[in-house]
Amino acid sequence: MAFAFHGRAINKIGVIGSGQIGPDIALYFSKVFSRQGVKIVVVDISEEALAKGKAKLHKKIDKGRETGAFSEDWAAAMKEAVTFASDYDLVNDADFIVEAATEDKELKGRIFADLEGRCGPETIFASNSSHLEPERIFEGISKKDRCLVIHYFFPAERNPLVEIVPARETSTEITSWLMDLYESIGKVPIQVGSRYGYAIDPVFEGVFLAAALLAQEGVADTKEIDAVATKALGLTVGPFTAMNLTGGNPITNVGLDHYTSRINAWYHSPEILKKAVAEGRKWEVPGRGEKVEVDPAKATRITEALQGAFFGICSEIVEAGISSVDDMNMAVELGLDMRAPFGFMNKLGTAEALRLVEAYHAKYPDFPVPQLLKDKGASNEPFVIRSIMRTDREGVAVLKIRRPKVLNALNQEVFDEIRETFDALNEDPSIEAVVLTGFGVKAFVSGADVKFLAKIETPEQAEATSLDSQDAINRVEACKKPVVCAYNGLAFGGGNELAMGCHFRIARSDLKVLAAQPEPNLGIIPGAGGTQRLPRLIGIDQAQELLRTGRPVSATTAKELGLVQELVDGDLVALRERAVELAKALAAGTMKAHKTPQEPMTEVPESLPELDLGHLSKAVDRILCETILEGARLTLAEGLKLEAKAFGEVCKLKDFRIGVENFLTNGPRSRADFVHA
């Protein structure tokens, strides 16, 4: 039994090194692959390290079993899938090897030289280096096209981010395969350029350096700096606490001194860090729940220094071509749990961001002011940050909505980007068709961002919000090129409404939960076209029950209902390839589109049947039923206007406030106590 993915099979994975991160990488692989029969072998020359690594892995699996994250059978399979051993012969037949040994070029080189003599020519070699360029790690390897860096982030089994760092000689096919593989197994990969430290560690270590310099210069103590940093940069824990948690002092001490010659002279290991490493000492940081009071003037000085360093570091990485604005904005927030840097600069104003960086440069002349930020800040022009990734394939534009932190949820910026993207595609002569999908395996689009609902204060504002979201989806529906929706995961609320605006819909066949209109749970009705498009696509009888109860349907049921036209077996790559094929067929006229009918429906009933609504609001249901029936008797365009007006009416209800506040306070699984008024 093996895991087959896009032309390659994985029977066995090797992890070299049972230190701090190796067991966590093995744990993630066991979570993903154990039920496919894939074997994971962790190899280390130290029996003590192997014993500790095995105990650590088993402890985390046991904890997951106790919390319900893993079933008994799954937990047992995960443990059985992983072998800890000192015998390198056990990885001779591995298909994929991740080395997670000490950050030492010579050691890594010896490991891979040995592996090259053991393993077949098709084995993929990856180093979980945090800093070293792949060209240096693999310089002694003869077959370099299968070698690259895959950098995990702490903790490796839970942190979704991975940096994929190909060397100059790395096969583009292997790089693309790994990007697809990691997306398919639940990680968020970004491809970055080969430079010492790559894209994300210079941010983590650079912010720490800025904090350490403040402490070294006596501006504040480490506890005060940590306390201010959490607010200044949106961190869950401050830079000194993070360094304690990751055990990062030694590697950061080395890394900062290498950055001096490989990035710029501002980077260096400060004396305060060298002393901490020499003494084996952790930083003094706030205790759990401890409130640290900081003088306002001191807090402002700390804030401006940290933000100036943060903005300058991130801008330099993009300017150097190591990463993009889009990737950095997402990856820093996701991997380091900090505010998304370019979105943060846009919110402050790029002129203000430039002022902070220039002020930091004035204090530390070796700290560069990137031209990228100078150009934006001079006119206070915001950075363009995209959440829709476009790849053109043989005349087909493949659009991927990528907001993994919120399961690709729609917000105002994404609606605006949909408009802009489809307007451009309409005028692009190189494009004959479009595929619209989402990032990852969990969600196509999980819905619209509920936070914007809390800001609605009047029916007029609610109606305008509904009309605006409808307008974006209308642009998709009105596209002159055929648009295929590829449901890669669940589509709730606005996500399913977006899918219904497409001209043809396909889905992964294994999705037990595909689509739902859960708005009644929030005390609202669909406002992006759901009350009008769903009845026209699957019939009033079937649509009204789904709209009124919020009940989700599987991919199989969606196909039976007519919401989905085709189910696709296989992985994400197979889904997207089939979507491209169908898009071409639609463009060529050899396939028939399944657009939402525009005309009024016939045989519309006078009323809808009574339903057991459980805890759901009867007041909301009354408006919803009226909207479904009245809209069905109108053209789609007229029905959408009616829906927007009804959405405004719903927002007058007490149940609207109750539902939204309950969601924001208690989460989507909590039932609101509606008063039916």
What is the band of 669 on the pLDDT scale with cuts at 50, 70, 90? confident
Q: Count Cα atoms within 13 angstroms, Cβ side, for 218.
A: 0
Domains of the chain and CATH, by start: 3-191 (3.40.50.720), 201-378 (1.10.1040.50), 388-666 (3.90.226.10)
Looking at residue 157, its pLDDT comes to: 95
What is the band of 407 on the pLDDT scale with cuts at 50, 70, 90? very high
pLDDT digits (tens, 9 = 90+) for 621-634: 999 999 999 999 99
Q: Which of 224, 519, 577, 643 is catalytic?
A: 519
Looking at residue 664, its pLDDT comes to: 87
Q: Give CA–CA dist 381/416, Å, rounded.
A: 17
Is residue 486 within 8 A of residue 506, CB to CB? The reply is yes
Q: Give CA–CA dist 592/23, Å, rounded.
A: 51
Q: Give the CA distances from residue 594 to residues 450, 480, 506, 534, in Å, rounded to whole numbers and listed in that order.
A: 30, 14, 11, 12
592: left (phi over 0), alpha (psi -120 to 50) or beta: beta
Q: pLDDT higher for 15 or 664?
A: 15
pLDDT digits (tens, 9 = 90+) for 347-365: 999 999 999 999 999 999 9
Q: In sequence order, what are the beta bridge partners of 568?
A: 508
Is residue 301 within 8 A of residue 254, CB to CB? The reply is no
Give me the mean pLDDT over the 67-95 stretch.
96
- Residues 6+ positions from 606 with CB-CB distance below 8 Å: 629
- DSSP class of residue 84 equals E
Looking at residue 471, its pLDDT comes to: 98
The answer on pLDDT for 1 being more than 70 is no
Is residue 519 within 8 A of residue 628, CB to CB? The reply is no
The answer on pLDDT for 475 being more than 70 is yes
Percent of the chain with pLDDT over 90: 95
Parallel, antiparallel, or unpaired: how do β-strands 147-152 and 161-166 relate? Answer: antiparallel
What is the band of 341 on the pLDDT scale with cuts at 50, 70, 90? very high
Q: Which of 497, 545, 630, 643 is catalytic?
A: 497
pLDDT digits (tens, 9 = 90+) for 124-160: 999 999 999 999 999 999 999 999 999 999 999 999 9
What is the band of 316 on the pLDDT scale with cuts at 50, 70, 90? very high
pLDDT digits (tens, 9 = 90+) for 166-205: 999 999 999 999 999 999 999 999 999 999 999 999 999 9
H or E stretch covering 135: helix 134-137
581 is catalytic: no
pTM for this predicted structure: 0.94
Which among 188, 199, 191, 205 is positioned nearest to 242, based on CA atoms? 205
Q: Give the CA distances from residue 184 to residues 4, 116, 404, in Å, rounded to whole numbers and listed in that order.
A: 12, 28, 13
Give the rounded distance of the alpha carbon of 448 from its chain centre.
Answer: 16
What is the band of 532 on the pLDDT scale with cuts at 50, 70, 90? very high
Looking at residue 427, its pLDDT comes to: 95
Q: What amino acid occupies position 185?
A: I
Parallel, antiparallel, or unpaired: how do β-strands 96-99 and 147-152 relate? Answer: unpaired
**Alpha helices, DSSP H only, in 433-529?**
451-454, 459-477, 494-500
User: Token pair for residue 542?
Assistant: 């079937």
pLDDT digits (tens, 9 = 90+) for 17-51: 999 999 999 999 999 999 999 999 999 999 999 99
Q: What amino acid occupies position 379?
A: S
Percent of the chain with pLDDT over 70: 100
The answer on pLDDT for 248 being more than 70 is yes
Looking at residue 337, its pLDDT comes to: 93
Q: In what order do the strands lie in the sheet with 515-516?
A: 443-445, 490-492, 515-516
pLDDT digits (tens, 9 = 90+) for 430-463: 999 999 999 999 999 999 888 777 788 899 999 9
Is residue 449 within 8 A of residue 406, CB to CB? The reply is yes
The answer on pLDDT for 555 being more than 80 is yes
- Residues 6+ positions from 560 with CB-CB distance below 8 Å: none
Please spell the DSSP secondary structure of 83-123, one letter per residue. EEES-GGGGTT-SEEEE---S-HHHHHHHHHHHHHHS-TT-
For the chain, the farthest-separated pair of C-alpha atoms sits apart, in whole angstroms, at 82
Length of the chain (residues) = 677
497 is catalytic: yes
Give me the mean pLDDT over the 633-653 stretch.
96
pLDDT digits (tens, 9 = 90+) for 213-237: 999 999 999 999 999 999 999 999 9
Is residue 568 within 8 A of residue 508, CB to CB? The reply is yes
Mean pLDDT of the chain: 96
Q: What amino acid occupies position 269?
A: S
Q: Give CA–CA dist 617/339, Å, rounded.
A: 37
